[in-house]
């Protein structure tokens, strides 16, 4: 499975800091244009790695928005952190005194423009920059020239979540991720610091103290040059961190979800007593008007549409189960019912809260194409790279009345029924993938295989993976208009 190297996120932070924290502030229009270019360029270069990541993995956004993680307490202050860094790098008494003396230089340093890393004429002399200075003094950049690229965002997020889960000041949801086997969690953080270069250690330190020096905006306006919309129409990308649930990785493919989910309130100040006050000109994100694009007059298949035009807006016409951790209230049974029940019923346990259900979309179980649909009693599992394509979800799957999931959590939690409650037939699972994206498909099938799903008799429950275009061809085959084995044509493999 692909991961995002931490140094690439640090380069993004460097670019954002240069735009949001200059000595001479930029004009609002100029800053918005440059911000749009930085975001678009970064996501364009790392599109494949982001698509191949777990759909429920919030590590990238948590890295860019540490000030929003108010439910975490890393139990660090300036003095304890400096001692931890000194022990990690085995500093001598002289180096320790040099490190402590950096604080006396003031909040900002005037640097010549030819010094690498200097953002103009001055640079913020916070604890993160002081860590960078002492690591350069020790020559750490030369020692980690080959190791820093192996440190991933997921690895850092795991280390931080384990430290927070074992501290009393964290919220109950974060502490629910702690395990009895967690011993010396600070050693994981020290091991990461020993593999980083000075510039990446600076940003990791700022993440720990939840102060990057700037705040990433909730909304970023993208120029129409990067989309298929008209030139005068601007598109807004929204970073919705409030709905993200912290997770902890368990091995190569398993994850543990924080329970109950944290209630984030980004408007209130952070509960951490060690966080510094940000500059109001930098900290307050600008508010932008979000343009609403008119609905498409004719649906286009994925092969004829650009990815940007498909992913800007997604209207969920099928039922989306709410995120609920309380006992559901069921309506009273009535003897006379005119509405027809769907055979899909989620298994609920009245003694325990319901699992995460935001990735489950319940269909009508009625095919609009033919009464003898091949996909009766079928559960579709969508790969992350196609889970937000409207032509697939709003047209193809909806016309078949199909139930589909966009997350693997319901499979790991045994939340979905294995048999149809009306017919008693076993539910068939089919994974829909994009065969033209080999790396993402391989990573998704690897995750499916690592689930080790089993049937009630103990045998392996194999999942067939097919290209999503099978849904376009199967209607013609059901009506007898097309001959041949299209299943063999669109089959990708089993997991």
Q: Are residues 44 and 169 in the same domain?
A: yes
State the Cα angle at 40 between 37 and 42, rounded to 5°.
105
The pair of three-digit structure tokens given for residue 472, joined into one six-digit string:
């376009």
Q: How many other CB atoms are there within 10 angstroms of residue 451's CB atom?
A: 15
Q: Are residues 32 and 122 in the same domain?
A: yes
The reply to whether 81 falls in a domain is yes
State the Cα angle at 170 between 89 and 219, rounded to 5°.
90
Q: What is the pLDDT along the chain (495 residues), one digit of tens a residue?
A: 568 899 999 999 999 888 888 767 778 788 888 888 888 888 888 888 877 776 667 888 899 999 989 899 998 999 999 999 999 999 999 999 999 999 998 888 876 555 554 444 578 889 999 999 999 999 999 888 888 999 999 999 999 999 999 999 999 989 988 888 887 778 889 999 999 999 999 999 999 999 998 888 777 777 655 556 666 677 777 777 777 888 888 766 667 787 765 655 444 333 444 443 333 333 333 333 333 333 443 334 433 333 333 333 333 433 433 333 344 444 444 444 444 444 444 444 444 444 445 678 887 777 777 777 778 778 889 988 888 778 888 888 888 888 888 888 777 766 676 676 666 677 888 999 988 888 888 888 888 888 888 877 778 888 889 998 888 877 666 666 655 667 777 888 877
Q: Are residues 105 and 37 in the same domain?
A: yes
Name the domain count of the chain. 2
Q: Are residues 362 and 398 in the same domain?
A: yes
3-state secondary structure the chain: CCCCEHHHHHHHHHHHHHHHCCCCCCCHHHHHHHHHHHHHHHHHHCHHHHHHCCCCCCHHHHHHCHHHCCCCCCCCCHHHHHHHHHHHCCCCHHHHHHHHHHHHHCCEEECCCCCCCCCCCEEECCHHHHHHHHHHHHCHHHHCCCCHHHCEHHHHHHHHHHHHHCCCCCCHHHHCCCCCCCCCHHHHHHHHHCCCCHHHHHHHHHHHCCCCCCCCCCEEEECHHHCCCCCCCCEEEECCCCCCCCEEEECCCEEEECCCCCCCCCCCCCCCCCCCCCCHHHHCCCCCCCCCCCCCCCCCCHHHCCHHHHHCCCCCCCEECCCCCCCCCCCCCCCCCCCCCCCCCCCCCCCCCCCCCCCEEECCCCCCCCCCCCCCCEEEEECHHHCCCHHHHHHHHHHCCCEEECCCHHHHCCCCCCECCCCCCECEEEEEECCCCHHHHHHHHHHHHHCCCECCCCCECCCEEEECCHHHHHHHHHCCCCCCCHHHHHEEEEC
The reply to whether 116 falls in a domain is yes
Q: Are residues 251 and 310 in the same domain?
A: no
Q: Which residue, among 354, 355, 407, 352, has the nearest Cα to 379 in the 3D structure?
A: 407
Q: Are residues 396 and 277 in the same domain?
A: no
d(CA 134, CA 406): 46
Q: Are residues 370 and 487 in the same domain?
A: yes
The pair of three-digit structure tokens given for residue 382, joined into one six-digit string:
């969508």
Q: Are residues 351 and 271 in the same domain?
A: no
**The last residue of a domain, from among 283, 313, 336:** 283
Q: Are residues 278 and 314 in the same domain?
A: no
The reply to whether 330 falls in a domain is no
The pair of three-digit structure tokens given for residue 252, joined into one six-digit string:
């190569």
Q: Are residues 16 and 157 in the same domain?
A: yes
Query: Which domain covers residue 157, as residue numbers?
Result: 6-283
Q: Are residues 276 and 413 in the same domain?
A: no
The reply to whether 194 falls in a domain is yes
d(CA 374, CA 377): 9
Domain with residue 161: its CATH number is: 1.10.3260.10
Q: Are residues 218 and 310 in the same domain?
A: no
**The last residue of a domain, from among 230, 252, 283:** 283
CA atoms within 13 A on the CB side of 46: 19
pLDDT for res 100: 92
């Amino acid at each position: 499975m692909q991961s995002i190297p931490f140094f690439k996120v640090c380069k993004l932070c460097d670019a954002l800091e240069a735009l949001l924290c200059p000595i001479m502030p930029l004009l609002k229009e100029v800053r918005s244009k440059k911000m749009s270019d930085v975001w678009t360029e970064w996501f364009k270069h790392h599109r494949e790695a982001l698509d191949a990541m777990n759909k429920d993995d919030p590590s990238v956004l948590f890295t860019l928005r540490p000030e929003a993680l108010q439910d975490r307490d890393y139990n660090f202050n300036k003095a304890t952190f400096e001692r931890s860094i000194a022990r990690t790098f085995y500093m001598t008494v002289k180096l320790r005194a040099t490190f402590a003396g950096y604080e006396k230089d003031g909040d900002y340093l005037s640097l010549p423009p030819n010094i690498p890393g200097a953002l103009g004429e001055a640079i913020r002399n916070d604890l993160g920059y002081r860590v960078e200075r002492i690591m350069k003094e020790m020559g750490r950049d030369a020692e980690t020239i080959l190791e820093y690229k192996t440190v991933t965002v997921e690895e850092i997020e795991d280390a931080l979540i384990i430290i927070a889960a074992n501290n009393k000041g964290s919220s109950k949801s974060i502490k629910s991720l702690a395990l009895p086997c967690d011993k010396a969690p600070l050693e994981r953080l020290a091991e990461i610091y020993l593999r980083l270069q000075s510039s990446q250690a600076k940003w990791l330190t700022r993440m720990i103290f939840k102060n990057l020096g700037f705040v990433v905006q909730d909304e970023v306006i993208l120029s129409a040059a990067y989309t298929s919309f008209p030139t005068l129409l601007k598109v807004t990308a929204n970073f919705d961190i409030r709905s993200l649930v912290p997770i902890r990785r368990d091995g190569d493919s398993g994850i543990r979800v924080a329970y109950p989910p944290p209630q984030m309130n980004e408007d209130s100040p952070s509960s951490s007593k060690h966080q510094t006050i940000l500059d109001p000109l930098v900290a307050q994100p600008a508010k932008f008007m979000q343009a609403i694009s008119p609905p498409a007059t004719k649906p286009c298949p994925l092969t004829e549409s650009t990815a940007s035009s498909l992913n800007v807006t997604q209207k969920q016409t099928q039922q989306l189960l709410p995120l609920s951790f309380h006992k559901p209230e069921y309506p009273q049974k009535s003897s006379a019912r005119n509405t027809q029940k769907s055979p899909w019923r989620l298994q609920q346990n009245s003694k325990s809260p319901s699992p995460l259900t935001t990735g489950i979309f319940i269909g009508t179980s009625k095919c609009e194409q033919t009464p003898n649909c091949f996909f009766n009693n079928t559960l579709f599992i969508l790969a992350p790279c196609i889970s937000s394509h409207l032509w697939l979800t709003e047209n193809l799957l909806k016309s078949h009345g199909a139930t589909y999931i966009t997350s693997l959590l319901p499979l790991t939690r045994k939340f979905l029924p294995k048999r149809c409650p009306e017919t008693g037939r076993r539910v068939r699972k089919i994974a829909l993938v994009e065969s033209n994206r080999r790396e993402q498909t391989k990573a998704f099938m690897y995750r499916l295989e690592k689930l080790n799903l089993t049937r009630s008799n103990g045998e392996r429950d194999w999942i067939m993976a097919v290209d999503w275009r099978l849904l376009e061809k199967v209607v013609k085959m059901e009506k007898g208009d097309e001959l041949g084995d299209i299943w063999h044509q669109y089959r990708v493999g089993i997991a």
